[in-house]
Amino acid sequence: MADGSTPISHQPFTRNAPPALPDVHVNQPLTDMSVAAIQSNENFVSNKMPTVRSRTKTNIYYIYTTKDMIRRQMDKRAPFSAAPTGGFDYDQATYLIERRSLAYKIDADVHEQYDMPLDPDADAASFFDLQANLDSELSMKDAIWSTGIWSTNYAGVSSGASTGQFLRWNVSGSTPIVDLRTALRDVALANGGIKPNTMIVGKDVFDVLADHDDVIDRYKANGNGTGARQLATANAIAELIGVERVLVCEAVYNSAVEGAAASNAYALSNGCWVGYIDYSASRVKTPSAFLRFVFTGRRGNVNGVRVKKYYEDRTDCYTYEMDADYLFKVTSASSGAFFSAVLS
């Protein structure tokens, strides 16, 4: 320069690129949400059944002979004569409660490295709760949900129903309310005049009943739903047929083996059961159709279920283990009736 100073060198200005998302954020699991199909306890019917608690796995119970109890035995008594003699007898039945179990194992190193929101203890508890409910529901199904178990049975047909049959409830012209009221009378006749108080159906049958003309028309006639067509509720159906409870099984289970494509179905389907169940705390001298017996002799839950966690040194893993000691048993076959092949 003219004044002898060093000239300033001008370099072109280069702008840095703005930060991208990977520069400022590393993906991490959310701690306030996750996805799991844990069914509500309300989906299940078996957990609403009354329980007989037993400190032994096997025992007997007495059965009063109904035919003697309801036979007319009183008669006129002449002066100075002995009173007519009557009486009844006792039968006996036994039960045997078997243990049902499930284990869930986690490697010890993995157990110590869970990230939030995962929690091995809480996850095992949720898994066991669902498995216990599913096993209970399917065990109840095995005990009650078939023909040949109950003294009164009805088979659904597509047309021309005769004795012991009914027109399937999704067929035009069917009369489910009449069919159910007939079953209530038949059961009361069979078991000595004890009126059924409970109806059990699966979601498939309930949905047909809730939208059936026979049900909706009577529902409206009782002063309900005079406007747009409405579905009848479980309580409304109970009122129409004359029972205290309509229990709807919405439990879903996968019947496929591990690794195969899922084969989901409702635990109870295409059938209907009506009968008498004693829900009181003491069930002495009552003809409950079936009951849930549980073993309480082992330390743990009074409902016969015990969950424990322990470390296995040999395999270096933590084991969660659940034992359930219970049995669904028909105690009065004459106190129930079963409708099979309810839907086409």
Give the DSSP per-residue string, 249-287. Answer: E--EEE-SPTTSPP-EEESS-SEEEEE----SS--TT--
For residue 46, pLDDT over 80 is answered with yes
**CATH for 41-65+90-252+263-340, among 1.10.3720.10, 3.90.1690.10, 3.40.50.300, 3.30.70.260?**
3.90.1690.10
In the prediction, which pLDDT does 66 show? 92
Instruction: Report the alpha-carbon distance of residue 69 to residue 86 in Å, rounded.
Output: 10
Among 44, 343, 37, smallest CA distance to 206 is for 343
Q: What is the pLDDT of residue 299?
A: 73
User: Rounded distance, CA 35 to CA 16, Å?
Assistant: 41
Which 8-state DSSP code applies to residue 289? S
CA distance 249 to 336: 18
Integer Cα distance of 333 and 337 in angstroms: 8
Q: Give pLDDT, residue 222.
A: 64
Q: How confident is the model at residue 82 (pLDDT cuts 50, 70, 90)?
A: very high
| Pairing status of strand 264-266 against strand 271-275 | unpaired
Can you give the pLDDT at residue 220? Answer: 76
- pTM score of the predicted model: 0.89
Q: Does the bond joining 84 to the residue before it have cis omega, within 30 degrees of 0?
A: no
Give the rounded percent of residues in the chain with a pLDDT score beyond 90. Answer: 81
- pLDDT range class, residue 181, cuts 50, 70, 90: very high
**Residue 110's Cα: distance from chain center in Å?**
34
The model's pLDDT over 302-344, given as tens digits with 9 standing for 90+, comes to 678 899 999 999 999 999 999 999 999 999 999 999 999 999 9
Res 283 pLDDT > 90: no
C-alpha 35/C-alpha 123 separation (Å) is 12
Phi, psi of 43 (to 5 degrees): -70, -20
Q: Any idea where the domains of the chain sit in the sequence?
A: 41-65+90-252+263-340
Give CA–CA dist 338/272, Å, rounded: 6
Cα-based angle 22, 26, 29 (whole degrees, multiple of 5): 140
Round to whole Å and give the CA distance between 117 and 112: 14
- pLDDT tens-digit readout, 292-312: 999 998 876 667 889 999 999
Q: How many other CB atoms sit within 10 Å of the CB of residue 292?
A: 23
Q: How many residues does the chain have?
A: 344
DSSP string, 87-152: ---EEEEEEE-EEEEEEEEEEHHHHTTPPTT--HHHHHHHHHHHHHHHHHHHHHHHHHSSTTSSSE
